[in-house]
Amino acid sequence: MPPKDDFDLHAFLPYLLNQAAEASSLGFQASYKGRYGMLRTDWRVLFHLGIHGRMTAKDIGERAKIHKTKVSRAVQRLADRRFLTRERDESDRRSEFLELTQAGQAAYRDLRAIAQEYEARLTARFSAEDTVLLKRLLVELAR
Amino acid sequence: MPPKDDFDLHAFLPYLLNQAAEASSLGFQASYKGRYGMLRTDWRVLFHLGIHGRMTAKDIGERAKIHKTKVSRAVQRLADRRFLTRERDESDRRSEFLELTQAGQAAYRDLRAIAQEYEARLTARFSAEDTVLLKRLLVELAR
DNA sequence: AGGTAATAGTTGATTTTGTAACTAACAACG
DNA sequence: CGTTGTTAGTTACAAAATCAACTATTACCT
């Protein structure tokens, strides 16, 4: 019979990170899924384009650390909804420049506002210093 | 043309959490996937059984906050590998008690050691106080 | 130039997850 | 008892993620 054990799973960092990430993702998803029928990858791509403007799928993948097939399919979905346009790069015809349309920009601004609200709600329970520290440590861990 | 924008995605908490969680999960996965061909849910279930001993699928699901279908399938995989045994609860024949076999316990101890090493490596770059604070905030966020 | 390797992006096959419906067993209430 | 409602766990089907293979184009190398 397996004996009890004092290893604390709830103090295991990868486990904790997953729980927190899951909870916050679901919470945020609840905010935007109703509005546009978007997947997580979709809004990430939308945000990158909203923030940086015109860029290629490859650049998005690198910056956001999303695999190219995921980016490709998210771009397709966003293009289907007329949230972005594709334009072949004539100096290197393998890649294409992506750019938000008016509708895409509007959706981005809308979602950005929701994101900022959500962020505020999440961090409201922490002191400003704690929040800064938390983010610093998370950035460290992400590398 | 979409203008640049000063919203900082890398300071958006759900995004940061996902990046950190992803990175740490992958890192840990690299440690155990080679050893046993296990999925994330599998080792979670294994850990719960290793820590708490004999318990039902329902209990595992509740404690770990894993949906019952995921638990069910993880239990099946672990049973296939002879890592656990199932025993019907005769006082309530709907549920069954799960318990690690010798092989299951050995795998658990092995993975636990790897987890502890990995944890140590992850937190090595932080001060003890920072680590404590980080975990406290993550627990907060997970609720 | 010609051949080989590398790169951007897409597509298809296989796994894994999520959702809903199902079976079997128990509970509660008349 | 008998009907209705719940619960533990499984299964079936749809949505999504993963991985490999593919097309088209460019870069490298001799």
- C-alpha A87/C-alpha A56 separation (Å) is 9
Q: Look at residue B139 in the predicted model and tell me its pLDDT.
A: 93
pLDDT cut 70: percent of chain B above it? 94
Say whether pLDDT at B3 is over 60. no
AA identity, residue B34:
G
Task: Answer yes or no: is A21 within a domain.
Answer: no
Residue B70 lies in domain: 33-142
Rounded to 5°, the CA angle A2-B99-B106 comes to 55
pLDDT tens-place string over residues B5-53: 678 888 899 999 988 998 898 888 877 766 788 888 999 999 999 999 9
CA distance readout (Å), A1 to A4, B46, B99: 9, 14, 7
Q: Look at residue B30 in the predicted model and tell me its pLDDT.
A: 75
**In chain B, how many domains are there?**
1
- C-alpha B30/C-alpha B42 separation (Å) is 15
Q: Which of B18, B53, B74, B135 is nearest to A12 (CA)?
A: B135
Higher pLDDT, A73 or B28: A73
What are the chain A neighbours of B130 within 8 Å (beta carbons)?
A: 133, 137
When pLDDT is cut at 50, 70 and 90, the band that residue B2 belongs to is very low
Task: Answer yes or no: is B7 within a domain.
Answer: no
When pLDDT is cut at 50, 70 and 90, the band that residue A2 belongs to is very low
Residue lying closest to nucleotide D17, CA to C1': A70
Higher pLDDT, B1 or A60: A60
User: What is the SS3 assignment for A88?
Assistant: strand
Task: Answer yes or no: is A48 within a domain.
Answer: yes
Task: Answer yes or no: is A16 within a domain.
Answer: no
**Would you state the structure tokens that stand for residue A131, as one six-digit string?**
């929040």
pLDDT tens-place string over residues A96-134: 999 999 999 999 999 999 999 999 999 999 999 999 999
- Assess whether B67 (CB) lies less than 7 A from strand C: yes
Q: Look at residue A33 in the predicted model and tell me its pLDDT.
A: 67
Q: What is the mean pLDDT of chain A?
A: 90
CA distance readout (Å), A31 to A83, A111, B139: 19, 9, 22
Task: Answer yes or no: is A40 within a domain.
Answer: yes
Chain C nucleotides reached by a protein CB under 7 Å: 7-12, 16-20, 24-27
Task: Answer yes or no: is B25 within a domain.
Answer: no
What are the chain A neighbours of B25 within 8 Å (beta carbons)?
A: 14, 17-18
Task: Answer yes or no: is A1 within a domain.
Answer: no
Q: Are A125 and B140 in contact (CB under 8 A)?
A: yes
Q: Look at residue A27 in the predicted model and tell me its pLDDT.
A: 85
Asked if A19 lies within 8 A of B122 by C-beta distance, the reply is no
What does the pLDDT average to over A86-105? 95
When pLDDT is cut at 50, 70 and 90, the band that residue A52 belongs to is very high
- Assess whether A67 (CB) lies less than 7 A from strand D: yes
- Min Cα separation B110/chain A (Å): 13
Residue for token digits 């609840």?
Answer: A30
What are the chain B neighbours of A128 within 8 Å (beta carbons)?
A: none
Rounded to 5°, the CA angle A6-A9-A10 comes to 115
Say whether pLDDT at A1 is over 60. no
Asked if A9 lies within 8 A of B47 by C-beta distance, the reply is yes
Domain of residue B134, CATH code: 1.10.10.10
**Would you state the structure tokens that stand for residue A125, as one six-digit string?**
């329970």
Q: Look at residue A127 in the predicted model and tell me its pLDDT.
A: 96
Weakest-pLDDT range from A84-93, B9-18, B87-96: B9-18
- C-alpha B34/C-alpha A52 separation (Å) is 39
